[in-house]
């Protein structure tokens, strides 16, 4: 009875989503008709995808570009946003389709791409899908050292986020805040039950802690970017290390517990049940700004660092307005745009000069060029399964 009703609801919502996706499609078509040149001001079609907070930030960026940037009067940006998970073709699919159809003059002037989308597009096409970045047209990119996971020279990183160490500044005095992994381990052992990381596979922070803990024992830095099963043989030392840490983790009712989800450990931290945990920089900072995480919670980075990711933006080779695309990329790296990214998304800025870091001062000291990125591919599944078997069951 219940399942039947559930399916009825599912069917109804699927139909609704279908209808909405249909509307979205026709809207796109109308913009492309009205687009193109309007006098001397040329349109730049900006494409982005993600959740609703990304849409809000992009709307701000686009309207700021059109109102205040140095390109006012030359270009007018138009936002095309694809909300993730609403059916229809994803942005990556559309880009691949346009490439395979051999189009040359499209409305895809400049596109925002995360690691996943970028890898997907490159796996279905080749690097010629993206235009080489013309650095002379992106003067603001000078001094940006962060690098994309792939297609270097074709995609420009413009913001980042990383897993950091979040701690309670009231219980952890400043001189005790760890700066290296070794110091962190020392601190954990000296303060049993005051540290927690979330179950890997339920949130990126726990994933990052477990993966870096294991790969810190592998000398080859490229291992973190490889899905080659040969690295599995070298996991033993890392797992032994996690096992050694296990008895010092957060306890509830005399048994060690790993909470689910990033929010699980963050809640323990804000409730004062633990003093330290790995978490996402943007998650902690945006919740601190909203007031759900108290001011006493601070963030810091350690050496070797946890992993993070950079978000990039690129001009497809079949863009109808490449110059405009580069202009928008240049704008994204301006202090004004970076300020919007910091204030709205708690993103880690790639340009710090002239950027207003109020409320997120800790970001200042974070060096994005030091981000470790990771791409373990299918190995993640085996790694999580092994963690569940060997660590999760220790009790």
Partner 1 sequence: MNKTNARKRMLIGYALVLPAFLVVMLTVAYPILSSVIMSFQDGKTGEFTLENYKYFFVTESQLKNIGFTLYVVVVTVVLAIVIAYLLALYLRFVKSPISRAIGTLYLLPRFIPGLVAVYAMITIIRDTGVINRIAQLLFNYDFKPAMMYHASGLIIMNLWFNIPFAALMITAGLGAIPDSVIESARDVGASRMRVFRTMILPLSMKDVVVAATFVFMTNVGSFTTPYLIGGNSPKMLGIALYDQFNRYLDYNRSAALSVIMFLICSVSAGIYIYTNLKEKEWE
The closest of 289, 293, 291, 254 to 277, measured between CA atoms, is 293
With CB under 8 A as the contact rule, which of the stretches 31-39, 47-55, 97-105, 379-387 interacts with partner 1? 379-387
Asked if residue 171 binds partner 1 (CB under 8 A), the reply is no
CA distance linking residue 306 with residue 308, whole number of Å: 7
CA distance linking residue 369 with residue 363, whole number of Å: 13
Asked if residue 173 binds partner 1 (CB under 8 A), the reply is no
CB of 167 vs partner 1, minimal distance in Å: 17
CB of 391 vs partner 1, minimal distance in Å: 8
Asked if residue 392 binds partner 1 (CB under 8 A), the reply is yes
Query: 234: which 2 tokens?
Result: 């070298």
Q: Write the burial class of residue 154 (CB in 10 Å: 0-12 exposed, 13-18 middle, 19+ buried).
A: buried
Give the chain's count of helices (H) and strands (E): 12, 11
Query: 17: which 2 tokens?
Result: 């989503």
With CB under 8 A as the contact rule, which of the stretches 7-15, 91-99, 144-152, 331-339 interacts with partner 1? 7-15
The closest of 336, 366, 348 to 140, measured between CA atoms, is 336
Do residues 294 and 168 touch, judged by C-beta distance below 8 A? no
CB of 120 vs partner 1, minimal distance in Å: 17
Site size with partner 1, rule: CB under 8 A: 29
Q: How many CB atoms lie within 10 A of CB 221?
A: 10
Residue from 30, 40, 222, 393 in contact with partner 1 (CB under 8 A): 393
Asked if residue 257 binds partner 1 (CB under 8 A), the reply is yes
CB of 7 vs partner 1, minimal distance in Å: 4
Tell me, residue by residue from 191 to 230, as one string, x for binding to partner 1 by CB under 8 A and - for no binding: --------x-x-----------------------------
Q: Which residues bind partner 1 (CB under 8 A)?
A: 2-4, 7-8, 11, 199, 201, 252-255, 257-260, 264, 271-273, 381, 384-385, 388-389, 392-395
């Amino acid at each position: 009875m219940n399942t039947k009703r559930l399916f009825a609801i599912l069917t109804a919502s699927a139909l609704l989503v279908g209808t909405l996706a249909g509307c979205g499609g026709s809207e796109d078509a109308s913009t492309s008709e009205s687009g193109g040149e309007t006098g001397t001001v040329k349109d730049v079609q900006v494409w982005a995808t993600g959740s609703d907070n990304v849409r809000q930030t992009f709307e701000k960026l686009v309207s700021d570009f059109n109102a205040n940037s140095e390109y006012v009067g030359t270009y007018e940006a138009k936002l095309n946003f694809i909300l993730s998970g609403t059916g229809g073709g994803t942005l990556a699919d559309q880009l691949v389709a346009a490439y395979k159809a051999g189009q040359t003059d499209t409305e895809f002037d400049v596109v925002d791409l995360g690691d996943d989308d970028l890898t997907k597009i490159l796996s279905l096409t080749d690097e010629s899908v993206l235009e080489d970045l013309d650095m002379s047209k992106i003067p603001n990119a000078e001094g940006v050292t962060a690098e994309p996971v792939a297609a270097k020279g074709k995609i420009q990183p413009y913001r980042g986020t990383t897993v950091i160490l979040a701690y309670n500044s009231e219980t952890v005095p400043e001189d005790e805040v760890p700066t290296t992994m070794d110091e962190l381990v020392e601190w954990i052992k000296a303060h049993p039950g005051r540290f927690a990381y979330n179950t890997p596979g339920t949130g990126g922070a726990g994933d990052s802690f477990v993966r870096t803990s294991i790969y810190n024992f592998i000398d080859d830095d490229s291992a973190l970017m490889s899905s080659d099963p040969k690295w599995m043989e070298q996991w033993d030392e890392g797992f032994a290390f996690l096992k050694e840490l296990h008895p010092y983790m957060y306890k509830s009712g005399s048994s060690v517990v790993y909470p689910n989800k990033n929010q699980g450990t963050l809640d323990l931290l804000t409730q004062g049940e633990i003093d330290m945990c790995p978490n996402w920089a943007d998650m902690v900072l945006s919740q601190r700004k909203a007031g759900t995480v108290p001011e006493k919670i601070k963030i810091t980075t350690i050496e070797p660092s946890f992993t993070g990711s950079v978000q990039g933006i690129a001009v497809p080779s079949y863009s109808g307005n490449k110059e405009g695309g580069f202009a928008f990329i240049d704008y994204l790296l301006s202090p004004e745009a970076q300020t919007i990214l910091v204030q709205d998304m708690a993103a880690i800025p790639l340009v710090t000069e002239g950027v207003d870091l109020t409320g997120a001062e800790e970001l200042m000291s974070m060096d994005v060029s030091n981000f470790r990125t990771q791409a373990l591919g299918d190995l993640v599944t085996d790694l999580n399964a092994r963690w569940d078997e060997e660590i999760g069951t220790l009790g």
